[in-house]
Amino acid sequence: MALDAATQAEIDSLRRSLEHHNYCYHVLDAPEVPDAEYDRLFQRLQALEAQYPEAVSPDSPTWRVGAAPSEAFSPAPHAVPMLSLNNAFTDEDVEAFDRRVREATGADIVAYAVEPKFDGLAVSLTYEAGVLVRGATRGDGSTGEDVTANLRTVRSIPLRLPAAGVPPVLEVRGEVLMTRREFERLNAGQRLRDERLFANPRNAAAGALRQLDPRVTADRRLSFFAYGIGDATVLPEGLDRHSAIMDWLARLRFPVSPERAVATGLAGLLDYYRGVGARRGSLPYEIDGVVYKVDELRKQEQLGFVSRAPRFAIAHKYPPEEEMTEVLGIEVQVGRTGALTPVARLHPVFVGGVTVTNATLHNEDEVRRKDVRVGDTVVVRRAGDVIPEVLRVVPDAARARGPVFELPERCPVCGSAAIREEGEAVRRCVGGLFCQAQRKQALLHFASRRAMDIEGLGERLVDQLVDREMVRTPADLYALDAARLSRLDRMGERSAANLLAAIQQSRNTTLARFVFALGIRNVGEATARDLARHFGDLAPLRAAGLEQLMAVPDVGPVVAQSILDFFSQPHNGEVIDALRQHVSWPVEAPVAAAAPLAGLTFVLTGTLPGLSRDQARAMIEAQGGKVAGSVSARTHFVVAGAEAGSKLEKARSLGLKIIDEGALLQMLGTDDPDRQHDRENA
Ligand code: IVH
């Protein structure tokens, strides 16, 4: 089919858009659209160029991968071009890849070196006689930018290699990235200084790498992972597999991914993809897929390259965590503590593996900073189990925008004043339990699994119970009966009976759960447990003064004041008195100072050889000790196991006592974890 004017116009427009997005992404480090949208435009252009060869032109964005080197850095030509990878999006794509590999090599089943696809920037590190002499970005694949001074600031990049067995010239390739934690730290600083926030770790890393002042780069604490080699003179004998090269690089002290593995056949690849996918959100850095590389180098050579990508490797991508959609409305939700949260109602969009219809806008300052309005096209992010958020607005001059959004000064639910205290980011309704929204949230919290665990008392039911004024406080739950429940929508006999049974069951609880269920500000599950153990019963807790509360390990002045404030409210006293008619718990002797570990705070870190975290915690607590989540000057002992990380470092820097599992068991008077284990499972 001949190229018509309309198609030519579409091609021109796609090229203009892609160039614009390229510029925003690679030069400004400030993308307007999510990667998924860029990929779609790119693929559409690729498809049109394939269909109409007469439209192909060397200035098309499909011809260049990445941006031109900036003038500030000198050009760094690559002796061996830095290529890109083809992508697989579905299991079928991977199946086809594995089939092509098997057909081209004649193998029945193929071993693949598999590793994460880091979401950072490709760099090349050249070592001469074991010394880092050049570090370069990828640039357009044949020429990058010389960023040696900046790469030298990356702590994990070796400046000098161990003397033995290193070839005269060695080029190592890998990815520079910013960990999530570093990204949070960087943006927190930007926020404090009222400066522009970085869109994601990748862009923050790109910005840091292209700093003209290497001191700024050093400040950004970039990370590096090696994933292969480029130019090299003679390699040591026996390096005939990619996995062997990676092991060798690890021995040369290059950081390599701890997630790397060797997988066999299609099933092995897909297993790896799902396994890493399940842990994706908890990795310390972002990844956008995994990479499969034929492990045997001889087979890699057999397969060779097609245009700009190797035939022996492929990137299997995860669903994008960012997508675009339209803001249909902005609503204000009132939380349990009265916090007003602006929430964007969205045109449904599939992102991070689920369909998202609402995304948080966090608070007033965030909405103002991002200037999100009804009618805007926005980028939405949903990573792992984190609640979806609106990242930014996609500028569109042609589109009519709603008015600037402002949080109301009165609670949208109860009409009480909504006040933002000095130095606080959130505006709060002062209505307390007079406010239906807060009452509903308080009830939901009271019934939640880790509190009173009343199964079946969900949002829809609580809405009805509160709206019809059948329930005002948690104590009213215990007065519900089948006849009254039957009047509710969608409440059959069976569900009414189940709900009543769950309410009955919650009557016997523990003091810790009850204290947590009250929803005292700043009192989470762990603090509730500490309070219960320390006071043994509710009466002494209610009667405690500031000093006595602060005697509880890890309870500081803020938490103590929250507890005092809560119990001093007459309304709360009434609700508690009413609840006491229905709910009971075993009273325990307050932890006496005589308990062997009383007054001692432990922190567990790393993997212990014989005990799970929960077991160790239970054993310490059984003897009156306390287990805290983070290391502080108040920590008495840090129990460290294998692969203990930052907590151990902090413990060392604070000069705390660090013990292993054996020493812990000795303190506990048990030195055989198996025996303890058996006892617990008996
Ligand atoms: S191998 C011949 N391995 O993905 C291909 N690349 O699309 C050499 N990347 O520019 C690349 N993690 O920046 C390889 N484990 C990994 C990777 C990886 C991330 C990036 C790299 C490259 C791009 C290719």
Element (H, E) at 460: helix 459-467
- Residue 339 DSSP code: B
Q: What is the pLDDT of residue 663?
A: 87
271 CA → ligand 1 middle, Å: 20
Per-residue pLDDT reduced to its tens digit, 582-616: 999 998 777 655 577 877 899 999 988 888 888 88
Give the β-pairing of 377-381 and 389-393. antiparallel
Per-residue pLDDT reduced to its tens digit, 399-419: 888 899 999 999 999 999 999
Distance CA 488, CA 510 (A): 31
Specify whether the CB–CB gap between 371 and 393 falls below 8 A: yes
- DSSP states of 65-128: SSPPPPTTSPEEE-SS------EE-SHHHHHHHHHHHHHHHT-SS-EEEEEEEESSEEEEEEEE
151 pocket-lining for ligand 1 (C-beta < 6 Å): no
228 pocket-lining for ligand 1 (C-beta < 6 Å): yes
370 pocket-lining for ligand 1 (C-beta < 6 Å): no
Q: What is the pLDDT of residue 474?
A: 93
pLDDT-above-90 percentage for the chain:
56
- Nearest C-alpha neighbor of 380 from the set 624, 370, 118, 41: 370
Per-residue pLDDT reduced to its tens digit, 619-671: 888 777 888 888 888 888 999 988 888 888 888 888 888 899 988 888 877 65
Per-residue pLDDT reduced to its tens digit, 558-591: 999 999 999 988 888 999 999 999 999 998 777 6
Angle at 221 between CA 217 and CA 227, to 5 degrees: 100
- DSSP states of 167-207: -SEEEEEEEEE--HHHHHHHHHHHHHTTPPPPSSHHHHHHH
Banded pLDDT at 137 (limits 50, 70, 90): very high
Strand partners, 63: none
64 CA → ligand 1 middle, Å: 16
261 pocket-lining for ligand 1 (C-beta < 6 Å): no
Given a cut of 60, whether residue 161 has pLDDT beyond it is yes
- Nearest C-alpha neighbor of 120 from the set 207, 21, 53, 49: 207
Per-residue pLDDT reduced to its tens digit, 215-236: 888 888 899 999 999 987 788 8
Per-residue pLDDT reduced to its tens digit, 422-472: 888 899 998 887 899 999 999 999 999 999 999 999 999 999 999 999 999
Q: What is the pLDDT of residue 206?
A: 93
Cα–chain-centroid distance for residue 153?
A: 26
Q: What is the pLDDT of residue 400?
A: 83
Mutational test site, ligand 1, from 84, 231, 254, 285, max ligand atoms within 8 Å of CB: 84
The pTM is what?
0.61
Question: Which residue lies with its CA nearest to atom 16 of ligand 1?
Answer: 117
Lowest mean pLDDT of 106-120, 144-158, 174-188, name the range. Answer: 144-158
pLDDT-above-70 percentage for the chain:
94
Given a cut of 80, whether residue 482 has pLDDT beyond it is yes
291 pocket-lining for ligand 1 (C-beta < 6 Å): yes
Specify whether the CB–CB gap between 579 and 475 falls below 8 A: yes
286 pocket-lining for ligand 1 (C-beta < 6 Å): no
Q: What is the pLDDT of residue 59?
A: 63
597 pocket-lining for ligand 1 (C-beta < 6 Å): no
Mutational test site, ligand 1, from 114, 125, 175, 231, max ligand atoms within 8 Å of CB: 175
Q: What is the pLDDT of residue 676?
A: 39
Q: What is the pLDDT of residue 589?
A: 77
Q: What is the pLDDT of residue 680?
A: 34
665 CA → ligand 1 middle, Å: 47
Structure tokens at 352: 């991070």
654 CA → ligand 1 middle, Å: 40
70 CA → ligand 1 middle, Å: 22
Q: What is the pLDDT of residue 212?
A: 83
Given a cut of 80, whether residue 385 has pLDDT beyond it is no
- DSSP states of 471-514: -SSGGGGGG--HHHHTTSTT--HHHHHHHHHHHHHTTB--HHHH
277 pocket-lining for ligand 1 (C-beta < 6 Å): no
Measuring CA to CA, how many Å separate 598 from each of 528, 529, 592?
Answer: 17, 14, 7
Given a cut of 60, whether residue 677 has pLDDT beyond it is no
Specify whether the CB–CB gap between 81 and 68 falls below 8 A: no
Element (H, E) at 151: helix 148-151
Number of neighbouring beta carbons within 10 Å of residue 152: 16
Given a cut of 80, whether residue 329 has pLDDT beyond it is yes
Which atom, in ligand 1's list, is nearest to the CA of 85? 7
Computed over its alpha carbons, how large is the radius of gyration of the chain?
A: 30
276 CA → ligand 1 middle, Å: 17
310 pocket-lining for ligand 1 (C-beta < 6 Å): yes
Per-residue pLDDT reduced to its tens digit, 281-315: 889 999 999 999 999 999 999 999 887 899 999 99
Q: Is 25 exposed, middle or buried (0-12, 13-18, 19+ CB in 10 A)?
A: buried
Banded pLDDT at 420 (limits 50, 70, 90): very high
- Nearest C-alpha neighbor of 230 from the set 184, 288, 171, 281: 171
Element (H, E) at 659: strand 657-659
Q: Is 64 exposed, middle or buried (0-12, 13-18, 19+ CB in 10 A)?
A: middle
Residue 117 annotated among the catalytic residues of the structure? yes
Element (H, E) at 369: helix 364-370
303 pocket-lining for ligand 1 (C-beta < 6 Å): no
Give the β-pairing of 637-640 and 657-659. parallel
Specify whether the CB–CB gap between 260 and 249 falls below 8 A: no
Q: What is the pLDDT of residue 69?
A: 40
The mean pLDDT value of the chain amounts to 88
Distance CA 183, CA 198 (A): 8
Banded pLDDT at 475 (limits 50, 70, 90): very high
Distance CA 488, CA 294 (A): 62
Measuring CA to CA, how many Å separate 374 from each of 328, 331, 342, 412?
Answer: 6, 10, 12, 18
Per-residue pLDDT reduced to its tens digit, 65-114: 433 344 578 899 999 999 999 999 999 999 999 999 999 999 999 999 99
Most confident of 25-34, 146-155, 386-395, 498-507: 498-507
Distance CA 218, CA 647 (A): 23
Distance CA 150, CA 580 (A): 65
Which atom, in ligand 1's list, is nearest to the CA of 257? 15
Lowest mean pLDDT of 16-20, 69-73, 136-140, 364-368, name the range. Answer: 69-73
Q: What is the pLDDT of residue 468?
A: 93
Question: Which residue lies with its CA nearest to atom 18 of ligand 1?
Answer: 117
84 pocket-lining for ligand 1 (C-beta < 6 Å): yes
Which atom, in ligand 1's list, is nearest to the CA of 309? 2
309 CA → ligand 1 middle, Å: 10
Element (H, E) at 45: helix 35-51
Q: What is the largest CA-CA distance in the chain?
A: 91
Distance CA 89, CA 94 (A): 8
Answer with the residue of higher pLDDT: 525 or 191: 525
Mean pLDDT score, 51-68: 65
* Residue in the block written with tokens 């030519």: 8
How long a stretch of residues is the chain?
682
Mean pLDDT score, 341-367: 91
Given a cut of 80, whether residue 675 has pLDDT beyond it is no
- Phi-psi group of 611: left, alpha or beta (phi > 0 → left; psi -120 to 50 → alpha; rest → beta): beta
Structure tokens at 521: 């500000």
274 CA → ligand 1 middle, Å: 19
Give the β-pairing of 87-88 and 313-317. parallel
